[in-house]
Structure 1
């Protein structure tokens, strides 16, 4: 069994070597930090750095003051130089608050612009750091975080999109992917919800009033935020395109505001939600964990075709797209304008008779459809790992059976009318009629 310290050194060295050797990989990684790499820019990545003014080399360790950054990144754009200390942890190890404070202090003392950490923790954006420092402690230094799985996904997508410049660089990046995917690398996805998950689900079942400031609520939301990011990376690898986690502008700018707002939703609605943008898909995928119902939902919404006048015709338009989909767990909700009830039926029922979505009280056809997959976990919902495992099965399954088959309705282009029809309809004005008479003369 390889020690975590050795695996950490190997993983960091592998990634830094790829940064130096594969242009597309380092450009993608640095772009996520807001750094653009021009053609004339020079990049350097160093491992196991020792500063000249150190009185003695500091040894790596799990805490205490003996730690030393794993690497240093230097980007020289000819106009300015941007530098960053890098610290990686592998397996279940994380960077502690005290350790991060020391790295920030080191960066300030030496004029280094940023500190980057790499662990198996997930964040929505690289500037949403999993370790919270006060504004005073972090002032003057940029803080960023990558998960190992994020770097693995970026490398995988570059290879699948054939965005790597040369055969040598492609070979190097393939070896990086092979290493990070290996079981012994220590790189993992998000594996389980927080320890308080089972108690929180039980409280919701027993109708206990939750507080958004309670530790179990905030820890649950934090765990959900990590799982959102991991789920997006899983979808990205499966479809071979970058699937984006959609966040409101204020949440992109402020991770604390995001945590507070999502905790409020959890307390009020007993739901955890997120939305994914899959490139070229018919609509976003909305994912929800309904704690009260102990169920997982994945949903896509489509406008109904306006050139179809009846409910049956509009439903058949949708059914043709899903003719080869597995029906189990798939349901369709018909949305109509106004306050009336939105009818729903299973995909299996609609295949038997599309009139299941006809409203006996309103003659108007649906204006939109929601197609959703529901998975009732019952007692298994409380399992920290089971919940994550089933969620990461359910959402890709929904996309495979529904998402990749759906096409948004597009209005057909107008047809050229015959001259006789246009004249009969009075579509030419007096000036146009006069113009044609003059031309005829």
Structure 2
């Protein structure tokens, strides 16, 4: 890997023979788990400006129709997160000379608060070609990480590392994107009520943090109005308007009323699952169902294969393919082929369902076949969720071969997540494609499909629980590490499922010291499990006021979900307490509310007891309340199915309940209007104050 210095450049062809498609990754970390940034990509012409609205890619506009750019979203890493961008350089329009990769923060945050700012570029086979670290970030709220640019027929990469204190507004202005602040919007609205509709938010309105509400917004140039003159006798309209892309189809969350005579009638399904009898049948059916839908729904097929370096092009999929291998031919579960500009990209698929493990020797055979035949990838698909530093199956690559084969992994939970994101939130090209994805999702969620994702805590789970119960589990026990790995897989799957339902980013927060590798971190967590008998995880959900914490206490058999809500600076304590109780009017009566005070803990009680007397939430000694911790408790429920399955279902249940009944009801606290004098709030003398 080539390590880049600020301002340096390198030709991609000098680093690899396979750079027609690359994956650019931006990552950062935070010791506290706080902090995040949004990635953006700009396609620039020879003048260094965007050509139009379709040249700016960000959270609300993640992909180009020709597949040249696709934002693949965030993936959790130890201590932070990583944003990946797929760039098909063979599909970039010829009048685009530069591709700029940037990131921005919001809400007054700056990049100096994050650690390990780094960009890497990998080739189609997944091999990292170059890396560039930024170590001089300070008060900047936007950063240009790097750019790919043409030199003749070659693409080169330049390490930029330039920051903007003016945030996304300053960055976008430099590249020909209009910025309209709130005051300008109000003025425009007075003269033209439709002018406000011409503003494109950087983030969805439902997900803009309150602290970012006053930030400038990005208006993109509209291709439909370029070069057009206003009609005579009409008031000149703004020459830059809303994006006019074709509207995509999503399915309603609530299904239409059934025409069945009674509840015993079951709707006909395109992909029936009840008749499956064996694991072999489940694998064959699941592979065929998935690959056929990938080929038929371009958005879905591209979404799953772009991270593996596949180009945007015509896709065909196959099953029951026999390939020669010595004296005994091999038959992978499936083959994916994508054609673009006369070139083929090929990936072999190995599928497992119902919790069956991948076989390393089988995957190794497919890696060898792919290398001999010039295929690009081997894709494994199973219930397991891949973890950083802990692949579901290991395979060796013959370094003597010039042709490189990449080994990738998908979980069934990731497949279901992508299908749900498309049909519920982002949309697909037409209603037929949306229906196909819905049928796929129904199949994956059927209890007999075997595609339920991670559903077993592993063979070490019961011995570790027993060892904690009898206090015989010692630090350094490898079985405790295996349980920690299973716990992380479960939490990753919870994030995928919840994110698919909400249409929002849900990521695990991993608090680790800078530079700690995944295995060392997991070993430390395993030692903590042996000592206190607890598994802990934190989830960050977009548009929520805090981090959702999950604690599984294996000694007591209890699960606790909680979130800390901070009170605004300068607010009256009693006003904040009353406001919180009003927001939680529909929350469960057994919700525990604990007041957080400077240097310790304050009063606590159930919502049922505190509702009549909000003043009971406040310390009687006048100590300042900084916020509130909201918690729900539930038993692990190991009576349903096996102990492993019962535990996993319990975790799913408590997260769903806490989010629906508590988190979804929380909104911003009311702040005192600036500049107004208000009477002093009476001191809290007792419960009735």
The match for 2:545 is 282
How does 1:170-189 map onto structure 2 within 5 Å? Answer: 170-189=434-453
Distance 2:397 2:563 in 1: 40
The match for 1:62 is none
How does 1:31-430 map onto structure 2 within 5 Å? Answer: 31=306, 33=307, 35=309, 38=312, 41-51=313-323, 54=325, 58=329, 67-76=330-339, 78=341, 82-124=345-387, 129-133=391-395, 140-212=404-476, 214-247=477-510, 256-257=519-520, 259-310=522-573, 312-328=574-590, 330-338=591-599, 340-361=600-621, 363-377=622-636, 383-409=643-669, 411=671, 414=674
The match for 1:438 is none
Distance 1:107 1:269 in 2: 47
- Equivalent residues of 2:638, 2:646 under 8 A apart: no
The structure with the greater share of residues assigned to strand is 2
Distance 1:103 1:252 in 2: 35
Q: Secondary structure at the match of 2:630?
A: strand
Distance 1:115 1:262 in 2: 32
Distance 2:297 2:512 in 1: 32
Distance 2:391 2:488 in 1: 12
Q: Secondary structure at the match of 1:218?
A: helix
Residue segments in structure 2 that go unaligned for 5+ positions in a row:
1-275, 678-689
Residue 89 of structure 1: how far off its partner (Å): 1.4
Distance 2:359 2:654 in 1: 34
Give the TM-score of the pair, scaled to structure 1.
Answer: 0.78
Query: Which whole-Å deviations, capped at 9, do the CAs of 1:158-199 have from their partners, x for residues lacking one?
Result: 111151111232232222223323333222243343343333
Distance 2:637 2:468 in 1: 13
- Equivalent residues of 1:380, 1:387 under 8 A apart: no
Count of paired positions: 399
User: Which segment is superposed worse, 1-10 or 127-136?
Assistant: 127-136
The match for 1:5 is 280
Gap change, CA 1:30 and 1:279, over 3 Å in 2: farther
Gap change, CA 1:251 and 1:289, over 3 Å in 2: farther
Residue 211 of structure 1: how far off its partner (Å): 2.3
Query: Which whole-Å deviations, capped at 9, do the CAs of 1:40-98 have from their partners, x for residues lacking one?
Result: x34343333334x546773xxxxxxxx52222233456598654221111223221122
Distance 1:251 1:76 in 2: 43
Query: Which whole-Å deviations, capped at 9, do the CAs of 1:80-120 have from their partners, x for residues lacking one?
Result: 86542211112232211222222222233333332211112
Query: Which whole-Å deviations, capped at 9, do the CAs of 1:224-276 have from their partners, x for residues lacking one?
Result: 12321332233235435453334469999965455334324323443212222
Residue 306 of structure 1: how far off its partner (Å): 2.7
- Equivalent residues of 1:327, 1:348 under 8 A apart: yes
Distance 1:42 1:194 in 2: 40
- Equivalent residues of 1:50, 1:57 under 8 A apart: no
- Equivalent residues of 2:468, 2:530 under 8 A apart: no
Gap change, CA 1:265 and 1:73, over 3 Å in 2: farther
Distance 1:374 1:387 in 2: 14
In angstroms, what is the RMSD of aligned CA positions? 3.5
Distance 1:21 1:250 in 2: 45
- Equivalent residues of 1:20, 1:26 under 8 A apart: yes
Distance 2:336 2:325 in 1: 19
Distance 2:308 2:528 in 1: 31
Gap change, CA 1:260 and 1:237, over 3 Å in 2: same
Q: Secondary structure at the match of 1:375?
A: strand
Residue 124 of structure 1: how far off its partner (Å): 4.8
Q: Secondary structure at the match of 2:665?
A: coil
- Equivalent residues of 1:149, 1:188 under 8 A apart: yes
- Equivalent residues of 1:123, 1:225 under 8 A apart: no
The structure with the greater share of residues assigned to helix is 1
- Equivalent residues of 2:358, 2:392 under 8 A apart: no
- Equivalent residues of 1:232, 1:244 under 8 A apart: yes
- Equivalent residues of 2:561, 2:658 under 8 A apart: yes
Distance 2:379 2:526 in 1: 27
The match for 1:428 is none
Distance 2:442 2:577 in 1: 46
